[in-house]
Each structure stands twice: as C-alpha cells, then as structure tokens.
Amino acid sequence: MFRSRMWPFLLLVINLKGADPRQLALQRGVDLGTAVDAQHLSESQYAAVLASQYSQVEPENEMKWRIIHPAPGVYSFAAGDAIVNFAVQHGMKVRGHTLTGDTQLPAWLSDPGLTPSGLQTILEEHITTVVKHYAGRVYAWDVLNEAYADDGTLLPGIWLNTPGIGVPGTGYMELALRWAHAADPAARLFYNDEDDTGLGITPKTDAIYRMAQDFLSRGVPLHGIGMQMHVTAGGVSIPGLVANIKRLTDLGLEVQITEMDVRLPVANLAGASAAELDSQAQVYHDVASACLQFPKCTAIQTWGFTDRYSWIPTAFPGFGDALPLDINYQPKPAWNSIADALASPSTASPANYYRISSGQFLNMGSRSTGAIAPGEMLYFAAPSGPGALVQGSPAAGKYPNSLAGMQVTFDGVPAPLIAAQNGFVIAVAPYEIAAHSSAAVQFDYLGNSSNPISLPVEPAVPGLFTATSTGAGAGLIFDRNFALVSASNPARAGDLIFLSITGEGVSQPAGVTGLSQPYRIFTPLEPLSVTIGGVPAAVAVVWSGPAGLPGMSQIGVYVPPGIPAGNAPVSVRLGGASTQAAVTVALR
Ligand code: XIL
C-alpha cells in the first residue's frame, strides 16, 4: 500500500522533467542557460518562460562584488539567493559570476590606503565567503573574468598591479582558483572571457590557452573556459571558434558558451529587418552546432533571453534585438535556429550524442547537485534511453541493475535502477563506493557507453523528499498511519512522524546495494540529529520504510512541544551535512 502511495510522488518528478523543452538540450548533453536578473523573477511570464525553457541560470549582476560585497566586511546575498532559490525550485543549475574581474568593483576597493597584502587578504576572504555561501548550489564559477587584452598581455588591474595582491603575472589567478577550490571542492572553476570575433584563434585566446596549459600542468584547479560570445551578426569565425574549442577540450577542459548575444544595428527595440533576423539566427545556429560537436562543450547560454531585458541597447547604443525571444517573449528566427541545431543529428556523432556532464544530476530529495553519498538516490539527465517510462521492480528481493537496456555503474559497480526514460535515469549509488573519495559514473544504453564523469563522494549528502518533488515546501512526511502530513492532516506535539530522506550514507548494520528490505532498522554511521521549528526532535527509529525502496529511508521522530501551529521548518543533520533549507511540516 505504501508503495502505491509512493509512486505518484516519484512520477510527479518524472513528468515535470519530461515536459520541459529544455530536455532537448539535456538529451544532447548540454545545458541551455541564460543570464537572469533577480528583479524580473516576480514577473509571471518571465518566470514561466525561464523555468520551462532553460536548464541553467547565471545571475547577470547579483553575484558581482559591487552588489554582493558592497562595503568592507558587508555581504549582501539576498539578490543572488533569490536566483539560486528559483533555480533550485525549478531543478535548474546555477553558474556563479564573477569572483574576480575588474569591472563593477565597489569603490571601497580603490582605497589608496590598501596595500597588496591587505588586498590579498580581502580577495581570499571574499572568494572563500561567497563560494562557501553557495557551495552545493552553484555548480560552476567564473573565478576569473576578462583578464587578458586583445594582444594577449594581462590587463592592468587592482588584482594584478594597481596595486596588485603582491604576486606577479598569472599568480593572482592561480591563487583565486586555489581559494575557490578550497571553499567548494565540487565546484567547476572557469576562466571566462570575450572577444568580438567569437573567440577563434587570436593572440588573446593563444594567451588563455597557454595559461590553461600551464595551470593544468601544475595541478592548479582550472576546469573550464567560458566563452562570452557577445558578437555581431557578421563577426564570428566559426572555423576559428571550432579550432579553439578543440584545442581547449583536448587539454581536458570543459568549454561553455556563457554570455551569447548577437546584436543587430537597430534603434532601441525598434525591430530589425527579416534579413537581419535571419543572419542573426544563422550565428546562433552555428555557434550552438560548434559547441555540440564537442562532448566537453557543456553549455549554451545566452545573456538574457528576451529583448525586453538586455544590456545591449545601453552598452552598445544603436544596437539591440540581440536575444532569441522578442520583447513579447515570442520566438524569433534565432530561437528556432537554436532548436534546430539541438534537434539536428547532423552534428551528432554517436560519441558526442552519448555524453553526460558532471552537473547533470540531482539528489532525488533535495533536487540539488554537488557531491554524492553511498546509498543516495540520484536523478541523472541521461543522454538516451527507452521511449516510455520503465520502472524497476525487485526480482528475488533486489532492484535491477539493467532497465530496458540502460545500465549505470559507479567505479564499475552496477547501480540499482529505480526508473528510466529517454532523458533521465534514477539510480542509487552503490554502498561499495563508501571508501572512495570520488566515483567514476558511466552510463550504458543498448551497448553504447557514455564518457565517465567523476563525482566527489562524501559520507552523507542528505536530502529530504518533498510532497511536490521540487526539493522545497512541504516534506514527504507521513503520520503513524502512513497518511501524508499536510495542511489538512497536520501533526501535533508528541506525534511520531516519518521523514522521507536519501543520502544518509552507510549504516550499522550495513545496507546491501539494491536490496529491497522493508522496515530494515539501522543506525547511520554519521551522527544524526533532527530539528523541527528549530527545536531538537527525538529520533525514534531510522528504517528503510514500508516500501523498502533502495535509496529512500525514513526517520521516525517525535514532534517536540511548544512549536507554533503552521508550517515549521524541518532539518536533518548527518555528520557535517544538513538537508536543504525550505522543507516544512504542517503542525496544528
Ligand atoms: C553586464 C550586465 O549585463 C549589465 O547589466 C551591467 O550593467 C554590466 O555588466 N561581460 C561580462 C558581464 O562578464 O558581467 C557583463 O554584464 C557583460 C559583459
């Protein structure tokens, strides 16, 4: 009975995902991203288009120094948090932008009294604070932005030499990467830059290439190069772009198109000619196709999505109409051309069709990405799979390692599969990876193997399942009759309630990978504590629950007295890790 109650919740997750047009991009192994402006998130049309069409967002300004660190020692995370929360609610990934770079710095950083050693301390503290604040929620950072001039020399600036932080050349860049890596070892760290010719082979991209080569050879944590791609309709050399993406990905780096717009010479929002819109569409198509040729080109992101809101008319007076949707959110030829590129098999060799990248997985409970834990139930955006939904069911007590031709391995150990469909697979990380610091995850569908992706392993990555499967709001919490606790069935002080959780890690006695074992009672090895309404709640039992679904456990806790009626926050801590914020239980 519990099983039949459970499935609708899992299916809701599946249906929300399946309906998204952004799946087209995810099936090709890339994210479709856009810059967003926090102040527009409250506009329903803006929010609806964003959430339904894109899999990734990047704050246009909200994480820049000027906004996030406006005065010494003062951090202002509200606007950045609003974007991150929106993304988490809608299962989107977040790129952070930008930790260095010389534009849009607050005036206090230009204080002539600041010494290089003082500035070094400030930069380290800034990077550490901001990256830690968003750890686990921002999967990739532009650590470095626009450091090079067109001739390939380093641009003068406060981190380099005016006055600098006291280290020569690319030294400040190296330190910035090392600090960011220490603050969030799972985050992908990028160098991001622009070039009017679309970042082909130029003195500037040669210099970026040499910097990357040097950093990689010395183990400096650089994972990718962002190509801004603020271009004009005639400006881009596609062969040059392809050559540059090739040499960078050959180094093992990821490449992402991070800020694309194609500006047209029009008066503000007056509208371009059909011919201009077509030539713009061609550029979007060709850049997207160039990216799609490379398994390690992992995102196609535009700098905004609607001409209603674009930086172009202000930054480039006389230009506009630069984005794929018009001011009324209607598709322009550019929008259709990006879809064409994504749908076109012509650029998709089997090898690059079947690929995954590290960010495309979520904890099934929290819906957030980061590290993984043994026994955690995970949602992966899979590049291929069966046309219709296939659900795993236990045979001889064990969930299958193969579902309609789909297999997933973690360091070679086959994972139990819960469900699969073209576009995603829900798998449980085997307990066998417990002693590993990272695991190579690989997919196989009908004999076609994906590239392996390396994911960091932590002892526990707890996530609470929620009633709407969004990772936020009412928890998937049951009363002692296994009825859902909700506003119409609130719990009261002293009640025993069961929180649904994944990612609690290994236990005593140890769990067996894939085994369906209803009511298996265990103690997680990581120290466990629960709060409800901020008050510690006594734990009665931890068990696999009546469904015995691998990767989904239940914590039975007593609701503490004295908590006001209404929605009280619920939090579970296991060792050093906590469940996501914003999960509640209805109390009366
Ligand atoms: C731009 C924003 O879009 C504007 O709103 C702001 O006024 C200036 O900065 N390259 C970058 C981005 O890395 O941070 C810039 O964003 C656009 C160029």
Q: Report which of 448, 486, 483 is spatially closest to residue 467, judged by C-alpha positions.
A: 486
Contact 75, 121 (CB under 8 A): no
* Most confident range, picked from 128-137, 229-238, 423-432: 128-137
CA distance 394 to 405: 16
Residue 325's alpha-carbon distances to 81, 181, 227, 277, 552, in angstroms, are 26, 36, 21, 11, 41
- Residue 109 clears pLDDT 90, i.e. is over it: yes
Q: Which residue's CA is minimally distant from atom 15 of ligand 1?
A: 60
Of the pLDDT bands very low, low, confident and very high (cuts 50, 70, 90), residue 351 is very low
Helix ranges (DSSP H) in 184-320:
203-217, 238-250, 274-292, 312-315
Q: What is the pLDDT of residue 171?
A: 98
Q: Is 254 a catalytic residue?
A: no
Helix ranges (DSSP H) in 429-538:
none
Which one of 254, 259, 504, 526 is the catalytic residue? 259
- Across 211-249, b (16+ Cβ under 10 Å) vs e yields bbeebeeeebbbbbbbbbbbbbbeebebebbbebbbbbb
Q: Which residue's CA is minimally distant from atom 5 of ligand 1?
A: 311
Mutation test residue for ligand 1: of 259, 301, 307, 316, the one with most atoms within 8 Å of CB: 259
Q: What is the pLDDT of residue 3?
A: 44
Model confidence pLDDT, tens digit, residues 30-56: 999 999 999 999 999 999 999 989 999
Q: What is the pLDDT of residue 503?
A: 98
Amino acid at residue number 157: G
Q: What is the pLDDT of residue 67?
A: 96
> Side-chain half-sphere of 529: how many Cα atoms within 13 Å?
8
Q: Which residue's CA is minimally distant from atom 4 of ligand 1?
A: 311
- Residue 266 clears pLDDT 90, i.e. is over it: no
Of the pLDDT bands very low, low, confident and very high (cuts 50, 70, 90), residue 28 is confident
* Ligand 1 atom closest to Cα of residue 311: 3
C-alpha R_g of the chain: 24
Q: What is the pLDDT of residue 267?
A: 61
- Cis amide prior to 98 (ω within 30 degrees): yes
Q: Which residue's CA is minimally distant from atom 3 of ligand 1?
A: 311
* Ligand 1 atom closest to Cα of residue 101: 13
Give the residue-averaged pLDDT of 538-551.
Answer: 93
- Residue 309 clears pLDDT 50, i.e. is over it: yes
CA of 60 to the centre of ligand 1 (A): 6
Q: What is the pLDDT of residue 270?
A: 56
Q: Which residue's CA is minimally distant from atom 12 of ligand 1?
A: 60
Q: What is the pLDDT of residue 350?
A: 35
Burial of 558: CB neighbours in 10 Å, binned 0-12, 13-18, 19+:
middle
CA of 428 to the centre of ligand 1 (A): 40
CA of 64 to the centre of ligand 1 (A): 10
CA distance 141 to 131: 8
Tell me the pTM: 0.61
Could you give the 3-state DSSP secondary structure of residue 91?
coil
Quick one: what percent of the chain has pLDDT higher than 90? 71
Range of lowest pLDDT (193-197, 357-361, 395-399, 570-574): 357-361
CA of 246 to the centre of ligand 1 (A): 27
- Residue 356 clears pLDDT 70, i.e. is over it: no
What lines the ligand 1 site, CB under 6 Å? 60-61, 145, 194, 228, 230, 259, 311
Quick one: what percent of the chain has pLDDT higher than 70? 91
Mutation test residue for ligand 1: of 143, 311, 312, the one with most atoms within 8 Å of CB: 311
The CA-to-CA distance between both ends of the chain, in Å, stands at: 27
3-state helix, strand, coil in the chain (%, to 5): 25, 30, 45
CA of 170 to the centre of ligand 1 (A): 23
Q: What is the pLDDT of residue 20?
A: 41
Q: Is 146 a catalytic residue?
A: yes
- Residue 8 clears pLDDT 50, i.e. is over it: no
Joined tokens for residue 259: 């800020």
Q: What is the pLDDT of residue 448?
A: 65
- Residue 545 clears pLDDT 90, i.e. is over it: no
* Ligand 1 atom closest to Cα of residue 192: 13
CA of 130 to the centre of ligand 1 (A): 19
Which one of 60, 146, 174, 504 is the catalytic residue? 146
Q: What is the pLDDT of residue 150?
A: 92
Q: Which residue's CA is minimally distant from atom 7 of ligand 1?
A: 311
CA 271 to chain centre: 34
Model confidence pLDDT, tens digit, residues 475-510: 999 999 989 999 999 999 999 999 999 999 999 999
Q: Which residue has the tokens 């008319």?
A: 313
Give the residue-averaged pLDDT of 71-83.
Answer: 97
Residue 193's alpha-carbon distances to 187, 204, 298, 348, in angstroms, are 19, 9, 16, 27
Of the pLDDT bands very low, low, confident and very high (cuts 50, 70, 90), residue 190 is very high
- Nearest-10 crossing angle of helices 44-53, 78-89: 60
CA distance 466 to 578: 15
- Residue 406 clears pLDDT 90, i.e. is over it: no
Model confidence pLDDT, tens digit, residues 312-322: 999 998 899 99
Q: What is the pLDDT of residue 387?
A: 64
Q: What is the pLDDT of residue 447?
A: 66
Give the residue-averaged pLDDT of 151-168.
Answer: 96
- Residue 15 clears pLDDT 90, i.e. is over it: no
Of the pLDDT bands very low, low, confident and very high (cuts 50, 70, 90), residue 244 is very high
Sign of CA dihedral 383, 387, 389, 395: negative
More confident: 201 or 473: 473
* Ligand 1 atom closest to Cα of residue 146: 13
* Ligand 1 atom closest to Cα of residue 230: 18
Mean pLDDT of the chain: 89
CA of 321 to the centre of ligand 1 (A): 17
* Ligand 1 atom closest to Cα of residue 303: 3
Of the pLDDT bands very low, low, confident and very high (cuts 50, 70, 90), residue 206 is very high
CA angle 546, 367, 401 (to 5 degrees): 55
293: left (phi over 0), alpha (psi -120 to 50) or beta: alpha
Q: What is the pLDDT of residue 384?
A: 63
198: left (phi over 0), alpha (psi -120 to 50) or beta: left
CA 583 to chain centre: 20
- Residue 27 clears pLDDT 80, i.e. is over it: no
CA of 62 to the centre of ligand 1 (A): 11
